[in-house]
A and B are shown apart, each in its own frame.
Chain A
Amino acid sequence: MRALRDWLARRTSTQLASALAVLAALALTGSLVLTGQAVRMDQRQQAALSALDDYAAMVSKLGVETDFNPSELTAGDAAYLSAWLGAFQSGPGRDPGSLEETCRTGRGGAGVRYIRAPVGKPAGLAALATAPSERLPRLGENVWRVTLARGELCPGRTVEAVVVRRTVGSLNIIVGRVVDPTGRALGWAVLAVALTGAVILISGLAAAAFARRRLTLAITGVSQALDRAAIGDFSVRAPEVGVAPELTELTVQANRTLDRLEELLSWLRDSADQLAHDFRTPLARATARMERLAETDDADERSRLGLEAAHDLKALSRAMNEAMALREGEAWLFETVRLDDLAEAVAELYEPLAEARGVVIRVERPAEPVAVLGVRSLLQRAAANLVDNAVKFSPDGGTVTLRAFIAAGRPALSVRDQGPGLDPRLLSDAALRTASAEAGGRESHGLGLTFVATVLRRHGAEMTIDDAAPGTIVTAQFSR
Chain B
Amino acid sequence: MDLETESAEQAFAAMTAMFDGRRALLLEDDPDLSEHVADRLLRAGFAAVDRVDTGEAALQACASGAYDVLILDRLTKGLDGLETLKRLRASGGPCADTPALMLTALGGERQKVEGLLGGADDYLAKPVGDEELLARIGCQIRRTARHARPAGADILNGPFRLSPGARTLKLELETASRLIDLSPLEFAIVQELMTARGQPVTKTMLWDRCWVEWKFLPENFVNIIDARISALRRRLKEQAPELGEDLHPLIVSARSQSLIFRDLDR
Contacts and interface: CB of A to CB of B under 8 A. Distances in A.
Interface of A: 313, 317-318, 321, 324-325, 327-328, 331-332, 345, 348-350, 352-353, 355-356, 376-377, 380-381, 384, 388, 443-444, 446
Given A349-B224, A380-B216, A321 B230 contact: no
Interface of B: 107-110, 127, 185, 211, 213-220, 223-224, 227-228, 230-231
A211 B4 CA distance: 85
B98 to A, nearest CB: 29
B224 to A, nearest CB: 6
Given A349-B211, A350-B224, A381 B218 contact: yes
Contact of A352 (B107, B214, B218, B231): B231
A352 B221 CA distance: 12
B3 to A, nearest CB: 24
Given A377-B216, A381-B216, A317 B127 contact: yes
Given A325-B216, A381-B216, A353 B224 contact: yes
Contacts of B215: 376-377, 380
Nearest to B213: A345
A332 B112 CA distance: 14
Given A353-B223, A380-B214, A388-B218, A331 B228 contact: no
Most buried by A among B110, B215, B223, B231: B215
Contacts of A388: 218, 220
A332 B110 contact: yes
Contact of B185 (A313, A331, A348, A353): A348
Contacts of B216: 325, 377, 380-381
Contacts, number: 52
Contacts of A380: 214-216
A216 B212 CA distance: 54
B97 to A, nearest CB: 31
B109 A328 contact: yes
A446 B218 CA distance: 10
A355 B231 contact: yes
Contact of A356 (B217, B219, B230): B230
Main secondary structure of the interface of A (DSSP, over half): helix
B223 A318 contact: no
Given A348-B185, A384-B218, A324 B108 contact: yes
A328 to B, nearest CB: 5
A15 to B, nearest CB: 47
User: What 3 pairs across the A-B complex have the smallest Cβ distances?
Assistant: A377-B215, A352-B227, A444-B220
B224 A318 contact: no
Nearest to A349: B224
Nearest to B223: A353
A324 B215 CA distance: 13
Contacts of A356: 227, 230
Contacts of A328: 108-110
Given A321-B217, A380-B215, A355 B109 contact: no
Nearest to B183: A348
Contacts of A381: 216, 218
A321 B108 CA distance: 9
14 contacts: A321-B217, A325-B216, A327-B108, A345-B214, A349-B214, A352-B228, A352-B230, A353-B223, A380-B214, A380-B215, A384-B214, A443-B220, A444-B220, A446-B219
A331 B223 CA distance: 30
A446 B109 CA distance: 20
A384 to B, nearest CB: 5
A443 B227 CA distance: 16
A220 B162 CA distance: 71
Contacts of A446: 219
Contacts of B214: 345, 349, 380, 384
